[in-house]
């Protein structure tokens, strides 16, 4: 089979590797759609990578034992390789599993773990069915396209009486605009990239503030009820300045969700002013509870036009170099790889 790799700074390509085989509860999925995500960071840094991708949609083509899936089933592939039996997994919070499977030990190598490939191996409990009539491309947005912000908004119960601030309008933040506007909330975006700011407006953002403006916080507050701040804020950028903008732009007793990865970078947090006196609730949102899968699929089905706008580009797997170059340009939303052309 063919799969994508990174060989150096801004250098990627496609190579031939062995096709994985089903084993125990691990099934083989023929990948029809691979959404691109954070792998571009390795592309920019030149970190050699042989196993790329963590989200996909495709077709079950091989099973090793009777179970919930049969050959021909259309599925979305959830990220990670959680154990499936710990309390977190059983509660649907698999993304936080601390006992993830050792893929290489089980299968003899890591081949088959990548989603930026023509085939992959995944545990049966990490697949969800694609509804009849829904395309692979649209269904794949149930991963990182809509997933992290969907989980955040579900957790805080955002609705029609709320104003939601979203900082960082890359693919994940743009997915947040779809999620929040579908719930009837007013959406204020924060983004300096003109292309993405315009795409956010097309997806339902009422206003987009440039974070480089000296009065960015004042602009946000002026858009809220009595200037008191938004009800909920979601950071999708991972930037410390955006974290503070979310905290400072949220009303008392509001909520702030951190979705964007920030590595080991620190963010100033003032316990007295931010937490005690302001009464904010701060939390991280990596993904969503697996029990909410029917709901996120309903969001996708009800927003087909917006999902088409969220997906800005499609590339054959063989053109992954061009796909990464487009991704790092910033003039894109969610980019899909098509492993079979």
SS (H, E, C) the chain: CEEEEEEECCEEEEEECCCCCCECCEEEEEEEEEECCCCHHHHHHCCCECCCCCCEEEEEEECCCCCCCCCCCEEEECCCCCCCCCHHHHCCCHHHCCCCCCHHHHHCCCCCCCCCECEEEEEHHHEEECCCCCCHHHHHHHCCCCHHHHHHHHHHCCCCCCEEEEECCCHHHHHHHHHHHHCCCEEEEECCCHHHHHHHHHHCCCEEECCCCCCHHHHHHHCCHHHCCEEEEEECCCCHHHHHHHHHHEEEEEEEEECCCCCCCCCCCCHHHHHHHCCCEEEECCCCCHHHHHHHHHHHHHCHHHHHHHEEEEEEHHHHHHHHHHHHHCCCCEEEEECCC
Quick one: tokens of 37? 């995500």
Nearest to 177 by CA among 158, 194, 156: 158
What integer is the mean pLDDT of 13-42? 97
The three-point CA angle 55-56-61 to 5° equals 135
In this model, does residue 44 exceed pLDDT 90?
yes
In this model, does residue 97 exceed pLDDT 90?
yes
Share above pLDDT 90 across residues of the chain, in percent, rounded to a whole number: 99
- What pLDDT is recorded for position 315? 98
In this model, does residue 36 exceed pLDDT 90?
yes
Q: What pLDDT band is residue 209 in, cutting at 50, 70 and 90?
A: very high
In this model, does residue 185 exceed pLDDT 90?
yes
Distance CA 203, CA 172 (A): 13
Write down the pTM of the prediction. 0.96
What integer is the mean pLDDT of 174-189? 98
Backbone angles phi, psi at 23, to 5 degrees: -155, 130
In this model, does residue 207 exceed pLDDT 90?
yes
User: Mean pLDDT of all residues in the chain?
Assistant: 97
Contact between 271 and 161 under an 8 Å Cβ cutoff? The reply is no
What integer is the mean pLDDT of 34-53? 95
- What pLDDT is recorded for position 341? 87
CA–chain centroid gap for 117, Å, is 19
């Amino acid at each position: 089979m063919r799969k994508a790799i990174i060989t150096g700074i801004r250098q990627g390509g496609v190579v031939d590797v062995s096709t994985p085989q089903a084993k125990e509860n691990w099934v083989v999925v023929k990948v029809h759609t691979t959404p691109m995500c954070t792998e571009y960071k390795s592309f920019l840094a030149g970190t050699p990578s042989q196993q790329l991708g963590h989200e996909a949609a495709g077709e079950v083509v091989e099973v090793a034992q009777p179970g919930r899936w049969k050959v021909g089933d259309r599925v979305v592939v959830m990220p990670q390789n959680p154990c499936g039996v710990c309390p977190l997994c059983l509660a649907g919070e698999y993304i936080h599993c601390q006992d993830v499977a050792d893929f290489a030990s089980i299968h003899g190598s890591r081949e088959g773990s990548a989603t930026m490939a023509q085939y992959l191996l995944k545990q049966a409990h990490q697949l969800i069915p694609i509804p009849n009539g829904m395309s692979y491309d649209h269904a794949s947005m149930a991963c990182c396209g809509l997933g992290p912000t969907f989980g955040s908004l579900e957790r805080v119960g955002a609705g029609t009486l709320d104003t939601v601030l979203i900082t960082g309008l890359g693919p994940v933040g743009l997915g947040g605009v779809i999620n929040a506007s579908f719930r009837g909330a007013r959406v204020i975006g924060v983004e300096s990239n003109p292309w993405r700011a315009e795409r956010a407006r097309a997806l339902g953002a009422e206003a987009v503030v440039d974070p480089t403006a000296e009065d960015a916080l004042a602009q946000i507050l002026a858009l809220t009820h009595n200037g008191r701040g938004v009800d909920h804020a979601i950071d999708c950028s991972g930037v410390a300045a955006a974290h503070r903008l979310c905290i400072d732009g949220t009303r008392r007793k509001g909520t702030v969700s951190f979705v964007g990865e920030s590595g080991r970078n620190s963010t100033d947090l003032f316990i007295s002013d931010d937490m005690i006196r302001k009464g904010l609730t701060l939390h991280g949102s990596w993904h969503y509870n697996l029990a909410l899968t029917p709901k996120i699929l309903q969001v996708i089905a009800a927003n087909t036009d917006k999902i088409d706008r969220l997906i800005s580009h499609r590339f054959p797997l063989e053109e992954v170099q061009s796909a990464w170059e487009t991704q790092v340009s910033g003039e894109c939303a969610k980019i899909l790889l098509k492993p079979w052309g």
